[in-house]
Amino acid sequence: MKRFSMYMLTLSLLTTATFTGCGGGSGSSSADKQTNLEPDVLITTRIDNETGFINLLNASTSQQSSNTNGIEINPSSNVFSYKNNLFMTESMMGDKIVKYTKSNGTFKESGVINAGEGSFPSSMIFVNDTKAYVALSSAGKLLIINPTDMTETGSIDLSAYAMDVNGTLGGNDLNPEPSSGLIRDGKLYMALFQVDNFQTFMCRGKASLVVIDIETDNVLNHTTDDRTCSSGRPVGNLGIFIDEKKDIYVNNLAGFGYYPGNNSGILRIKNGEDNFDPSYYFSITDLDNLSVGDGNPSVFIAGNYDKEGQLYVTLEFPSLASNPPDYINDKNYQPFVLDLYTKSVTKLDLPASNGWTTGIISYGDEILFGLSTQKGDGLFRFNPATNVGDETPYISTDGLPAYVINY
């Protein structure tokens, strides 16, 4: 078993930057000012462990994105876009939830909630203009807020669903680590990460998810599965997806692949059901013969569902990592597309990247990947119709392109 320091393991695997906006500055790149195109993508860059920038740009044209007019942030925060407003959760770097409102092209701070010392505010799930859930991953609960006036309106204690190492409820561990969530048919499906702590990431028993009525905030169901563990990811809702059939797919990181016997993979909750489907499991750990490195992949820590069962990811290959790992220079993450319906995988015509750059979005008829490669850092296009991807970034970034979202 490999163990890393809390700081490096957490930053490289758990809180790979998922932020997409903040306050101060215009947030528009010089290219957008020259072309006068309306920004449609938010991209963050990581300079070092303390410094990152957010840039708004129009991704329809090739360009060099500069941080000159960007918004400086800590690269381990999370930021979410909702109706042209931005909401930041400070994750492991603080306890605040901050709202930013756009005025005359500039984002300005317009509200702050302190979630409590050591609470680790992470994913946000918006119900409507007056209700949103914030996962407090170190406090074992969901905070309910009004995102319009930034006031607290309630909370949901999830401590009763915390597991011990054997998957048993009611032990000494009172925190199930709420991670990623989405809303379907009036219910919040909230994955629970279930680890011993955010330093060693040892799985606590089983895959785990609670179903909550968004009208009453009552927990309706707790579903578990012993085929994998560590459900979701307490960063930007990156561990849960829904398809056109309204089937939900939950990624399970299983200790990031560093504990023998814990297999990472995807579970499903079918439309109309509230339990993990016993007939479905898509193992990531067991994928073989992928012609990358020497051995199987371990996990994917972010993905983008496009359509028709196609989930675009970057798979981590431990055999391509240095010993000890070099999180900047190791290029051990290879872009793939997973077919959730056939449980098949296809390597994409794109270069390998490090693990900091896991931003993937659908953009028109293409898929955009934020990658840090041997041939440059920035946004790379992949065309599913032709199966052709960029060899070099068509939008270059100043710093590692930590994350990307549609804006």
Residue at 267 is within a domain: yes
Residue type, 17: A
Lowest mean pLDDT among 28-32, 88-92, 227-231: 28-32
pLDDT at 35: 54
Residue-wise pLDDT for 91-140, tens only, equals: 888 899 999 888 777 778 899 999 999 999 999 999 999 999 999 999 99
In the DSSP assignment, the letter for residue 80 is E
Beta strands in 262-407 (DSSP E): 265-269, 281-283, 300-305, 310-316, 333-339, 344-347, 360-363, 366-373, 376-383, 388-389, 395-397, 400-406
Query: Does 385 map to a domain?
Result: no
Helix/strand/coil for 159: helix
Domain extent, residue 116, equals: 1-15+111-282
| CA 14 – CA 248 distance, rounded (Å) | 22
pLDDT at 60 over 90: yes
The predicted-structure confidence for 8-24, as pLDDT tens digits, reads as follows: 444 445 544 333 323 33
Could you say which DSSP state residue 91 is in? G
Q: Rounded to whole angstroms, how far apart are CA atoms 69 and 311?
A: 33
Return the amino acid letter for 319: S
Q: Is the distance from CB of 178 to CB of 234 less than 8 angstroms?
A: yes
User: Is the model more confident about 1 or about 235?
Assistant: 235
| Residue 349 belongs to some domain of the structure | no
Alpha carbon distance 286, 251 (integer Å): 15
pLDDT at 358: 65
- How does pLDDT run across 292-350, given as a tens digit for each residue? 999 999 999 889 999 999 999 999 999 999 999 898 899 999 999 999 999 999 999 99
* Structural domain contains residue 367: no
For residue 331, CA distances in Å to 105, 323, 356 come to: 36, 13, 10
Structure token digits, residue 151: 């006031």
Q: Nearest CA to 315 among 245, 266, 388?
A: 266
Q: Which two tokens stand for residue 276?
A: 């993990």
**CATH code at position 128:** 2.130.10.10
Please report whether residue 249 resides in a domain.
Answer: yes
Q: Percent of the chain at pLDDT above 70?
A: 91
Residue 360 within a domain: no
Rounded to an integer, the average pLDDT of 374-380 is 95
In a domain, 167, yes or no: yes
**Least confident residue range of 150-159, 170-179, 265-274:** 170-179
Please give the tally of structural domains in the chain.
Answer: 1
Residue 233 located in a structural domain: yes
Cβ(65)–Cβ(71) under 8 Å? Answer: no
